[in-house]
A and B are shown apart, each in its own frame.
Chain A
């Protein structure tokens, strides 16, 4: 976990949020999908269960699972770097659409 990342120069930064409607919470399958999606972006991506953190690396399955996020928690995303906007948007959509697609490889 990190404290609020410091904004450096004109690096793009974006935020989003979504309610975790997935029954059971952020279990293995949704966590895998979430981290796989986060890893597709060059930007650094963080996740939190409160608006001001603490922030967790959204690309680490170990860290994301260790949050043990329960059903109906609000998830906050923050990204910094190339494609930050796309990353936070895509992650929020993934959560809002309840982690569609049965393939856990996300392919």
Chain B
């Protein structure tokens, strides 16, 4: 490393717009208001001020032309309207008539406007103070006849605060912003988020003279000036990965999944408690392939609360907007205890009273859940799935409970529908004898299936190599289940971690699966992996 190169400096900040950026470092000092101007006559001063205001308005209008985005338009239109408002300009012109220089008159008039907002209780109005300072400074630059220093595309811009109109003038192209002040509610933060420009606020102060390069890493909430070799390499590889993820998301997330040879694959999502759906566009998936209700029903009290369950399930159905939603009945026990409900002190909980076994031990709890599910089924294509099914009789018992729950609801005059009843295929006994089960649909739970087939505990990292999902034993079982389902027109999907693992996608498609239920964050990469694969033998068959 060059001896003149400055040593690495790491400064912490608060991320307000996520991302990784690296580029030439530009430190903006609080702008000087230009060389002192010799005050002219009142007429000359007011002509100067009017000209500077006109120039500022024209610059802002030009920015509005360049930027069609609503947030930017509002900020710029507000500034243009303020500059055209005599309430703003008249006091300055009056001060000039009374003997003030244009700069002083404008500063005083604007400061009284800024004060209106600076102390507002409402955060939105308080944040407008920075829009007005921005406008004030633009006019002052016009008075001093100094243009704002141009900033190279892709720069890392460090400043105390960055006015929105300045932000809009910069070509970001992979650059980022670090502000020593600033707030998450400021317009510039909103702009950064909508443009995908990484941004930190409240960054620690430091003297960055002598540094020419910097990076912003919002994962670690840092601005790094003069990043050294190792740091820079690590950053570059993360940036590359992030770029692949971003490019895949852009290309695949919004379109149906098609293999290289044009076969359609349904990609559904796994849902925990439903709150994560707010961030997801339902058009990006073919439905919900798994709702883990044990993550909605945290406490024993929730298990008896039919109304609360109905509301939770309804919310997911409304979100799905007519796409299928598979909701799994309580899968407690094993590594998912519910105080007061699951059995304590089992020697081997994964082989104990868990999933459907527990539900059948408490039929009243299962009935409450089936009632809530049948009521929600009146709102859209809801399907019920039961976990840990081992014998056909267990599934038959659930069907009887479902039918009597529906009959009771009808007697009570409550709106409901009879949901389809399907099963998880995760116990080897079920997978091996799948032809004996009377299920409306199947969903392969690969996590437990692998654990039980390989006789290796899921939580043992020492046994990881034995748990390879791509080993023949597991794939053969999956193949047999899929072949049976296809032969009998039973929809089949896979909802374990395998479906979200891009290494496994080719093998799953080759054993005939055409329906995957994945983590929402994996949607784009799974669709990308599907798009890159040519299936071994084209096949039809009904899908879930």
Binding site for B on A (CB under 8 A): 24-25, 27-29, 31-32, 35-36, 57, 60-63, 65-66, 68, 70, 102-105
A32 and B64 alpha carbons, distance in the complex (Å): 15
* Nearest neighbor of A27 in chain B, beta-carbon distance: B124
| A-contact bits for B328-344, CB 8 A (1 contact / 0 none) | 00000000000000000
Q: Which of A24, A35, A62 contacts B88 (CB 8 A)?
A: A62
Shortest Cβ distance from residue A71 to the other chain B in the assembled complex, whole angstroms: 10
Give the interface centre of A35, A57, A104 by most chain B CB atoms within 10 Å.
A104
- CB <8 Å contact, B113 and A105: no
Instruction: Give min CB distance, B112 to chain A, whole Å.
Output: 10
Once the chains bind, are B82 and A61 in contact (CB under 8 Å)?
yes
Of the A-B pairs whose beta carbons lie under 8 Å apart in the complex, a sample of 29, sorted by A's number, is: A25-B122, A27-B124, A28-B74, A28-B75, A28-B77, A28-B78, A28-B128, A28-B131, A29-B74, A31-B78, A32-B81, A35-B81, A36-B81, A60-B85, A60-B86, A60-B87, A61-B81, A61-B82, A62-B82, A62-B87, A62-B113, A63-B87, A65-B128, A66-B116, A68-B122, A70-B122, A103-B73, A104-B77, A105-B77
How many angstroms between the C-alpha atoms of A107 and B116 in the bound complex? 29
* Docked complex Cα distance between A102 and B124 (Å): 20
B residues adjacent to A (C-beta < 8 A) = 70, 73-75, 77-78, 81-82, 85-88, 113, 116, 120, 122, 124-125, 128, 131
Within 8 Å CB of A66, what residues of B? 116
By a CB distance below 8 angstroms, the chain B residues around A25 are 122, 124
Q: In the docked arrangement, what's the CA distance between A43 and B125, Å?
A: 29
Q: Which of A24, A61, A63 contacts B124 (CB 8 A)?
A: A24
Shortest distance from the beta carbon of B272 to any chain A beta carbon, whole Å: 29
In Å, the complex CA distance between A103 and B75 comes to: 13
Give Cα distance in the complex from A104 to B71, angstroms.
10
Would you call A61 and B85 a contact (CB within 8 A)?
yes
What B residues does A35 contact at CB under 8 A? Answer: 81
Within the complex, the shortest CB–CB distance from A79 to chain B, in Å, comes to 19
Residues A32 and B122 in contact, CB atoms below 8 Å apart: no
Complex Cα distance, B116 from A81, in Å, reads: 31
Q: Which of B77, B120, B124 has the most CB of A within 10 A?
A: B77
A29 — which chain B residues lie within 8 A by C-beta? 74, 77
Residues of A within 8 A of B122 (CB): 25, 68, 70
Q: Report the separation of the CA atoms of residues A70 and B121 in the bound assembly, to the nearest whole angstrom.
A: 11
Given A28-B128, A62-B88, A103-B73, 7 other A-B contacts at CB below 8 A?
A: A28-B74, A29-B74, A32-B74, A35-B81, A57-B87, A61-B82, A65-B78
- B residues within 8 A CB of A103? 73
Q: How long is the Cα–Cα vector from A28 to B128 in the complex, in angstroms?
A: 9
**Are B74 and A62 in contact (CB-based, < 8 A)?**
no
A94 CB to nearest chain B CB (Å)? 16
Task: Please indicate the chain A residues that have their CB under 8 angstroms from the CB of B125 in the complex.
Answer: 65, 68
Smallest CB separation, B70 vs chain A (Å): 6
Alpha-carbon separation in the docked complex, A35 to B84 (Å): 12
How many Å lie between the Cα of A36 and that of B82 in the bound state? 12
B120 touching A61, Cβ below 8 Å: no
Chain A residues with CB under 8 A of B82: 61-62
CA distance A24 to B127 in the complex (A): 13
Q: Which residues of B contact A65 (CB under 8 A)?
A: 78, 125, 128
User: Which of A25, A31, A65 has the largest number of chain B CB atoms within 10 A?
Assistant: A65
With A65-B128, A66-B116 given, is the CB distance from A104 to B87 under 8 Å?
no
Q: How far is the CA of A28 from the CA of B87 in the complex (A)?
A: 16
Q: Which residues of B contact A62 (CB under 8 A)?
A: 82, 85, 87-88, 113
Give A70 to B116 CA distance when docked, in angstroms.
16
- List residues of chain B with CB within 8 A of the CB of A68: 120, 122, 125
Which residues of the partner chain A approach B87 to less than 8 Å between Cβ atoms? 57, 60, 62-63
Picked from B78, B88, B113, B128, the residue with its CB within 8 Å of the CB of A32 is B78
Nearest CB of chain B from residue A69's CB, rounded to whole Å: 10
Given A24-B124, A25-B122, A65-B128, do A32 and B85 touch, yes or no (CB 8 Å)? no
CB neighbours (8 Å) of B70 from chain A are 102, 104
Q: How far is the CB of A4 from chain B (nearest CB, A)?
A: 20
Distance of B61 from chain A, by nearest CB (Å): 10
How many angstroms from the CA of A28 to the CA of B72 in the assembled complex? 12
Please give, as numbers and ranges, the residues of chain A lying within 8 Å of B128 by CB-CB distance.
28, 65
- How long is the Cα–Cα vector from A25 to B123 in the complex, in angstroms? 12
Residue of A nearest to B88 (CB): A62
CA distance A103 to B69 in the complex (A): 10
Q: Which residues of A contact B116 (CB under 8 A)?
A: 66
Residue of B nearest to A106 (CB): B77
Determine the distance from Cα of A57 to Cα of B125 in the docked complex, in whole angstroms: 19
B113 — which chain A residues lie within 8 A by C-beta?
62
* CB proximity of A104 to chain B, nearest CB, Å: 4
Measured between alpha carbons, how far is A63 from B400 in the docked complex, in Å? 69
A-B complex: 8 closest residue pairs judged by Cβ atoms: A61-B81, A28-B78, A62-B87, A104-B77, A60-B87, A29-B74, A62-B85, A68-B125
In the assembly, what is the distance between CA of A32 and CA of B120, in Å? 19
For the complex formed, measure the closest distance between the CB of B106 and the CB atoms of chain A, giving whole angstroms. 14
The smallest C-beta distance from B161 to any residue of chain A, in angstroms, reads: 18
With a cutoff of 8 Å between Cβ atoms, the chain B residues found around residue A27 in the complex are 124
Q: How far is the CA of A96 from the CA of B531 in the complex (A)?
A: 49
